[in-house]
Structure 1
């Protein structure tokens, strides 16, 4: 029985996002050990996370456009090489500005080459089960948080933060580069949509950027990421501040990653049945609720329970933005369109860690981080309510007429 190659693309995407995004998101594990070893402030290290997400956002847009032009395989190969270089050199940084440049800019830029281009390619492989396929690719991020985090914590405990980061860079080379060679674009066949085959609306990049729906999706994505990025990044440090041991606090982040993995699959299946917009609104509300509950969390057991709920919510909503972009704007420039939306979202991702670090250094706790994050999360819910149903292209009608 021949396996539909689209599922191979999903598997490759799962592995690449697991390793690539897991490596970038591991910075929160390094936060306290680096503060103690190097004397750097949490705000200073959190600035590397800000640069991380800003660079990833610009990278996602650039890599996405390049994948439309040169193919996703080439982009992922280049990103895999660059990610390893960033991690290996960042492990040798002797000053804060060097670390911010190497981990913040180089690692961030490289990480932008994975999720956006692979997701764009995945949507072109599937007409049915598209939400599930994209959710499974995105699930790699959740597994990366659950597996890379404990590995990094073990390496730091057994050796030091430098060797842990160096080893992580070498692992990215070993796993991502070979996997990239399995990526290919779809050809005409069951379940596949070629770049030139119309299915629903097809826009140019200029038309996409002028539509109100692009702005609505981008703003929702921004608010969603601004709401959860700070609590995620400071999750381990917050648990340790309440007396949880370092290894146990790391496993709290792992539980959030597993919750994220479950959320992507469950919410992906739900979106295939009831629609992406309705599912997104519900998921965003659950995310805001989970963030607010951190105000009352003090014990390890409740940290685990809340991490599972929070991970389920934020992990589940993330793949839905790619589905919405695909439904509204079509397949032809999916890499460019989703890359632009991702660029806006990473501004939100960069805001949370830095704001959390500044609020902690200023007030001595994460209280105001959780208050602000929950409020921004409710703002995302409000914007998502404004989404209109995607408009379909009647036979013979040029898509330019739908761009206004």
Structure 2
């Protein structure tokens, strides 16, 4: 039940978040704004999710993890529902960005920290299973969201997405392990350890560029003349690769000279190499190939990241290490998309 709850929480948070790219062209046209301004929504939601990680830990310590996960589900759902009355892009910054991002932080960070403490010998496999939830729905949601937008307008689509996200509340209520977890206490002594500091820098840079392809691959395809549904399906192709990557990485053995942190470093290095060739993808086929390759590598890096955090920070300091790492990754998430959107505009 521990990993299953993680599966659902990841699906309703990262899975939905990574599928919002299908709305961006519509929002650009509706509000008459630039790609960079629209991309800031994704930047805010991912940034807030990670930047609020220490607060999520403190609240779970005071009120219990079950309550915090359920509250996160309600708040993130409310962010989408309140977007029904949006009259400007700034309104979406507040609702979809800050409000939903904060709700996601409460539910996701609390759940993943608990998985890190709960599992000892099968941690990578548990993280792989939990995180694969967002990959599976990332395959299904982009065309679904496009359909909902066509049938009910983007406002109606966001209202229905709010109902999907609300499922987190039910799983939070049913998960007995959440009532037993202890809250996060940030151990700042980690910041005096050179290895951990170097890892922090790597995670910040990873966060800076991680979601850029998810945000701009659909608008870029549209700019090259690709129709709406095939453009949206590029996110589904990326998600297919992501699913395979997350599934395969759970089978990796742990070698004494090539541990989880080393495997994580190799994975993000290859992500960078693949992205260097992204500007050459100017046809739908080459865009699809890039989406598949990037998705495969991105899927592998997420379970490895959580396992590397426990390895470098120590399982007994998992909550502290997770809070610090997610905060720094959030800072990168906040800066990356709008920075990359300027040349696209």
Both proteins in one fold, TM over 0.5: yes
Distance in 2 of aligned mates of 1:85 and 1:114: 14
Aligned residues of 1:225 and 1:346 also touching (Cα < 8 A)? yes
The counterpart of 1:182, out of the listed 157, 174, 194, is: 174
Does the residue aligned with 2:277 lie in a helix, a strand or coil?
helix
- Aligned residue number for residue 326 of structure 1: 310
- Aligned residue number for residue 254 of structure 1: 236
> CA deviation digits over 1:274-333, x for unaligned, max 9?
520221122112201221121111222222222111011122112222212212333444
- Aligned residue number for residue 120 of structure 2: 127
Does the residue aligned with 1:114 lie in a helix, a strand or coil?
helix
RMSD across aligned positions (CA)? 2.3
- Aligned residue number for residue 386 of structure 1: none
Distance in 1 of aligned mates of 2:148 and 2:15: 15
Distance change (3 Å), C-alpha of 1:195 and 1:49: closer
Distance in 1 of aligned mates of 2:49 and 2:260: 25
Distance in 1 of aligned mates of 2:4 and 2:116: 14
The counterpart of 1:38, out of the listed 31, 37, 59, is: 31
Q: Does 1:105 align with 2:98?
A: yes
Distance in 2 of aligned mates of 1:332 and 1:283: 26
Distance in 2 of aligned mates of 1:122 and 1:259: 24
Does the residue aligned with 2:250 lie in a helix, a strand or coil?
helix
1:39-118 equivalence runs, <5 A: 39-118=32-111
Distance change (3 Å), C-alpha of 1:71 and 1:259: farther
* 248-257 or 218-227: bigger deviation: 218-227
Q: Does 1:266 align with 2:248?
A: yes
Distance in 2 of aligned mates of 1:253 and 1:204: 36
Gaps of 5+ in 1: 1-7, 189-193, 197-202, 362-404
- Aligned residue number for residue 297 of structure 1: 281
Which structure has more relative contact order (CA 8 Å, sep 6+)? It is: 2
Aligned residues of 1:267 and 1:279 also touching (Cα < 8 A)? no
Distance change (3 Å), C-alpha of 1:278 and 1:333: closer
- Aligned residue number for residue 373 of structure 1: none
> CA deviation digits over 1:250-276, x for unaligned, max 9?
111011112112112212322545520
- Aligned residue number for residue 139 of structure 2: 146
> CA deviation digits over 1:94-128, x for unaligned, max 9?
02221211111111111112332212111222222
Gaps of 5+ in 2: none
Distance in 1 of aligned mates of 2:272 and 2:45: 24
- Aligned residue number for residue 382 of structure 1: none
Which of structures 1 and 2 has the bigger CA Rg? 1
Distance change (3 Å), C-alpha of 1:349 and 1:204: closer
Distance in 2 of aligned mates of 1:153 and 1:332: 44
Distance in 1 of aligned mates of 2:86 and 2:202: 36
> CA deviation digits over 1:158-208, x for unaligned, max 9?
2311111111012211x21111123343999xxxxx879xxxxxx971322
* 105-114 or 75-84: bigger deviation: 105-114
Compute the TM-score of the two structures, normalised by the length of structure 1.
0.79
Following TM superposition, by how much is the alpha carbon of 1:211 offset from its aligned partner in structure 2, in angstroms? 2.1
Distance in 2 of aligned mates of 1:276 and 1:105: 33
Aligned residues of 2:18 and 2:214 also touching (Cα < 8 A)? no
Aligned residues of 2:76 and 2:162 also touching (Cα < 8 A)? yes
The counterpart of 2:214, out of the listed 211, 221, 232, is: 232
Aligned residues of 1:49 and 1:354 also touching (Cα < 8 A)? no
Following TM superposition, by how much is the alpha carbon of 1:347 offset from its aligned partner in structure 2, in angstroms? 1.6
1:301-316 equivalence runs, <5 A: 301-316=285-300
